Structure 1
Amino acid sequence: MTPRPGAGLRPFSIKTKLGTLVVVSVFITTGLLMVALRTETELRFITVFSVIASMLITQFVAHGLTAPLDEMNTVARAISHGDYTRRVSGAGRRDELGDLAVTINSMADDLEAVDRHRKELVANVSHELRTPIAALRAVLENVVDGVSAADPETMRTALKQTERLGGLVETLLDLSRLDNGVVPLRARRFEVWPYLSGVLKEAGLAAGRRGLASGSGNHARADVHLHLDVFPPELTAHADAERLHQVVANLVDNAIKHSPPHGRVTVRARRGERPGSLTLEVLDEGPGIPESERYRVFERFNRGSATGGDGGTGLGLAIARWAVGLHGGDIGVAESSRGCRIRVTLPGVPKAAG
């Protein structure tokens, strides 16, 4: 959380208020005592007046301290029961209670976001599961009822839906690994050209299968041209091939989805500054990502206007950022005169190992 401006000055801190209360009480008692000595007033009357005055001042100060605490207790109790919309109104105070109010409100914001993401995940996964399960069930029912034969074409249709389900389960497993943070990094040196060529071949086949399975609405996805640009041709990199596959596959898949009919997706690879380092770029000719959304495009469940409502889970780019982060690299949206360009930089061999 960002420190509050002037948090170190504490001109109105609770300690200051309590200290002021003690000083004022002493001054009142001393003043009344001096009045008693000059006017020959009995000491017991002065004592009573002093106690009453001190109690009134103490009550005033205590109310200013306990009222915000009562409100915070109410808000915290509401949050504990799942109501994340409640906020503490004392966030503008310039004391420790104000800082506590800011912390509680920030916690409520985070919990509300987590709850919203959880609901979005359930809705997205339910939507993603419903379509392939319904299609697979329809195929199997037709075979069982004798409407269609269990020929290779029918089985290929069932296989496509099964593969789609498997891909979703793998995505959820990746999300679980991301949350647990227990994924080991198995980095090795490999040749970039044949490696990326294999990734693009798989991406092209997957796009073609999606186009055939989804009908005329997305048939142009199979017409997107995938281009690989690696220089120098003998370029090698040092990274976890499995994790890098997740990155490239997700980026290429998004680029294909957002490309125009007969568009072109380019995967460009160049040598970085350190041994085994690599700079990857994935470029498409689609509408691009608005500048206002670039900072959050890699967040989980983000399905902004750039997605075009493709029905995805909004996890692909978040997983790509996680995989790049495991390598100690960076991923982001780079400036492009046309379409979208995502740039990935991997550091290569650690200095200690070089």
Structure 2
Amino acid sequence: MNRSQVRLRPFPIKAKLGTLVVVSVFITTGLLIVALRTDTELRFITVFSVIATLLITQFVAHGLASPLAEMTTVARAISHGDYTRRVSGSDRGDELGSLAEMINRMADDLEAQDHHRKELVANVSHELRTPIAALRAVLENVVDGVSEADPETMRTALKQTERLGRLVETLLDLSRLDHGVVPLRARRFEVWPYLSGVLKEAQLTGAAVARRNLVSNSGSHSRTDVHLHLDVSPPELAGYADAERLHQVVANLIDNAVKHSPPHGRVTVRARAGTQPESLEIEVQDEGPGIPRSEWHRVFERFNRGASPKAHGPGSDGGTGLGLAIARWAVDLHGGRIRVAESARGCRIHITLPGRAPQVDLT
């Protein structure tokens, strides 16, 4: 056995207190024996015995009180919302070490829950902002007389209102996240009409936002020069997924691809059958500058906006860095996979959805 592997097991607190009593008795007895053999006065023996016992007691008490004081400080910080503090000495092996380990574990859980809560609020806020902005753009154009309240315009407003309603309804389901399960309302659907509707909604929303910015002379611009192309093979392809969650994925990927496309570029959405029954493979590809391979592992992180602002197209506003993170979250709920794929030009995001999406435990 190596010397580095030899580790003495620390004494438990009861053993330490018992050792303190035994040592104190031995010291007192030893001093009494010395006093009897050397004719030393008893008062000196008593003083020496008391001093020695106090020193040993102070040493042992410091070893017990110091970790407790640190635990009190950390517990107070946690109670005030600081979940980054940790207690040292969790590897002591005694009762205090076990208590320190439990406090650290509790702090880890609370920090994870707080991080998840903030991420959830950011993701929901991001999702709510898009239909609200589009609906406001459509209504402002109608009020300002820029566009007529024709059936097509009203259908656009209605779709955004319905999407808002669905998003608000999902807020009620988010409480189930505390129990570790997010419900998926998966169903079988025809891929072509579904994706065609998502692309059409993206085109109408972009046009409405562009008209609003033109009237208001806003400094930001919405891309209307990018062509959206849908490629589904075979045309009767069917899939099995949660329609609202999948809408989050495709809409965010299209929005991201449009922002990074060159002038008069092309964004292609492809759908193919997967290897399993009713499984689906979807790709969204643009003709922009692409993503450096060194950034592939970071593109789905929250608030990641790319290595360089030059990668954004002329209509890019920089974004919030949440779109791809939301896409990964929704794909993970389906038990699928989303990744950056090889591409000769631009960026290609590949999604794989299983035929039957299980409920995913997030704990």
State TM-score, norm by structure 2.
0.67
Give the aligned residue type for 1:36. L
Aligned to 1:304: 305
Q: 2:317 is paired with a residue of what secondary structure?
A: coil
Aligned to 2:257: 255
| Per-residue deviation, residues 95-145 of structure 1 (Å, max 9, x unmatched) | 2265357447646755775797699789979998997899799879xx7xx
Q: 2:270 is paired with a residue of what secondary structure?
A: strand
State how far apart, in whole Å, the 2-side matches of 1:207 and 1:135 are. 10
Aligned to 2:361: none
Aligned to 1:343: 350
Give the aligned residue type for 2:184. L
Aligned to 1:197: 196
Among 259, 269, 277, the residue aligned to 1:275: 277
Which stretch of the first structure deviates more once superposed, 206-215 or 112-121?
112-121
Among 338, 349, 356, the residue aligned to 1:331: 338
User: 1:235 and 1:78, CA in 2 relative to 1: closer, same or farther beyond 3 A?
Assistant: same
Tell me the percent identity: 51
Cα deviation, residue 348, structure 1: 0.3
Runs of 5+ consecutive residues of structure 2 not aligned to the other structure: 359-363
1:237 touches 1:278 (CA, 8 Å); kept in 2? yes
Among 32, 38, 41, the residue aligned to 1:36: 32
Runs of 5+ consecutive residues of structure 1 not aligned to the other structure: 1-7
1:128 touches 1:312 (CA, 8 Å); kept in 2? no
List aligned pairs for 1:164-203, cutoff 5 A.
Answer: 171=167, 174=170, 177-178=173-174, 180-181=176-177, 184-203=183-202
State TM-score, norm by structure 1.
0.68
Aligned to 2:148: 152
1:279 touches 1:346 (CA, 8 Å); kept in 2? yes
Q: Give yes or no for the alignment of 1:213 onto 2:198.
A: no
User: 1:219 and 1:24, CA in 2 relative to 1: closer, same or farther beyond 3 A?
Assistant: closer
Which stretch of the first structure deviates more once superposed, 306-315 or 342-351?
306-315
User: 1:328 and 1:139, CA in 2 relative to 1: closer, same or farther beyond 3 A?
Assistant: closer
Cα deviation, residue 262, structure 1: 1.5
State how far apart, in whole Å, the 1-side matches of 2:195 and 2:129 are. 31
1:229 touches 1:267 (CA, 8 Å); kept in 2? yes
User: 1:268 and 1:285, CA in 2 relative to 1: closer, same or farther beyond 3 A?
Assistant: same
RMSD value, Cα? 4.8
Give the aligned residue type for 2:189. F
Aligned to 2:247: 245
Give the aligned residue type for 2:29. L
Aligned to 2:72: 73
Q: 1:152 is paired with a residue of what secondary structure?
A: coil
State how far apart, in whole Å, the 2-side matches of 1:349 and 1:119 are. 28
State how far apart, in whole Å, the 1-side matches of 2:121 and 2:258 are. 28
List aligned pairs for 1:82-101, cutoff 5 A.
Answer: 82=81, 84=82, 87=85, 90-91=87-88, 94-95=91-92, 96=97, 99=101
Q: 2:271 is paired with a residue of what secondary structure?
A: strand
Q: 2:275 is paired with a residue of what secondary structure?
A: coil
